[in-house]
Chains A and B, each alone.
Chain A
């Protein structure tokens, strides 16, 4: 018995140690299997929210981008499944016949919206009049007038705003250019000189050290508080790698990899940190072929969250591409950009569009 108690205490202590473990940067273990050698890495924990902030903040921010709980899947006929509301992903075909999906980072926009639940209760008016009009020798009540006046109770049952939705809407299949959406004209994005806040990143392949703050600001604007929501930035690389459980844009890796890889990087930024209802936000998507091989059929999907309303005629693309707008089940829109030409290693494109905050 004593041994059992000691064992239980030991298990409890071990469990506590595991759950109380600090946040540690972990790198994809498959990198080692692929022969990737990490020669330098740096991690700074800037831009994070303090721990234990609870769920209060999550309801105040609009999150857009990334791949949600259900992993987005592209089938052989390019049918996209599990594209949830708020997801922003790109899929592309490789030279060896595979179709890969790459999510973007998530952007956070402080835009709380308050609603109200109203209940109206009436005070019940009771008035009882009992008058003795006449008594005889038997001392009995001759007339008993009872009057109960029930006060009126108004229960407001407006049927306005009865439209509701469930969280997992927008998970349905989405086929490529099936005609279900509306194909719209796409403007040409060429204003790279004013490319938002981190010009080097959008115009060129690298990011200057002096632009780190701007990148971090544009990336999150509200801080990176999701597990893998950060932009993955690589410098001085020969081939791309993937870091998981990394939140900051301040982590750098210098790696050596001789293998041929197909990799797309998708970065999403928002033009504002916060917005009131009715204000317009400009989103920018930059996609880079950071692999060593040509990729084709690059398709970028942005399933907008409910409170973002896409503004028509605002979509721009720096590369020749098709553009389809399709209403999603959550009351917003799914934007689909189909890049026409293959993307060579090192090439990139920029997409911009505007949304109004509901």
Chain B
């Protein structure tokens, strides 16, 4: 697969694989972002996940809160230094409890802050771990800020293989993982190509049909639900809630291209499960996030890079890298060659993170840009890859969420600080007036000093 240069978001729509994609309602466009510009612009949230820990020695900055120097891994963020916070001293305490192995617990808990359920995922001397036992922070935020956007949230993935607890970070609720979409073309079709009908009358008929069917179907789920035992009810609860999101979408605007909301040339087909495609797929997914924000189709997105224990070989960073990410991440501190390679992997992730910030800064909104009203959380499921340490997690927060966070700082603290507090801080950033997130046994209130 030949890597292509990233494509301009503003490039003309050619469609997928060269075929034209019909666009709905081009003649009925009305301003989307402009609509918001009179009022307060909407806030937006992005979760950015990379696995297998980092190289702490090469990750943490030096210096004080306002007088700090970027580390080797964070160097690619130089141009955004004033717009990010490096958050140290926060621990994944919840992941020391409950069933599951270190990777399972870290993955299921990094965004939920709940111990895992009992279940039948193998990994702990038997079939022991289940899904995470609570809603993830992005979904909680989405419930509150989605407004009348077409999608409450969009889950993007890059080479996320597997479909068990080590491959899922986003949860709609306890035991309800949301899978990411690895294929930009499929995501594009889903978000921007939901045509269904090519005129308003046709659209109206389609919506009526969907309403009738969903109502009828939901009635069947409800009456079946009443007859079932607890476990089966939980399954149907999730299903009914998912049907609910389809109902919510009825009557909402589909995409209208104008202003900053412009079609994206997604290029030819790429195999999303080919590791050599990762750089290109990642860029496309980030372009799609930026585009979805520009079109105000969603306000919450997540981008999950691979998965916990991923064995992707990052050989596009150099032929010398021949081992998968997970085995590399486990090399001892004294193995300088391999630690340097792992550092380059994490540095590359930081460079891609910088690209996402660039993409959001390129979209004007009000007096500033979309980035000004966004906060991006970079999380991992481990802190230190070679020993599964989950203390002092390598958190980066980019953006101020509309001025909520003062940026340009390296904030850290001592002692055991459950990451539940960081999650509460994020709730507050979105004006969600709650002081507990995740399992309450890990404390309440926001992170001090952020």
Chain A partners chain B: no
B contact residues vs A (CB 8 Å cutoff): none
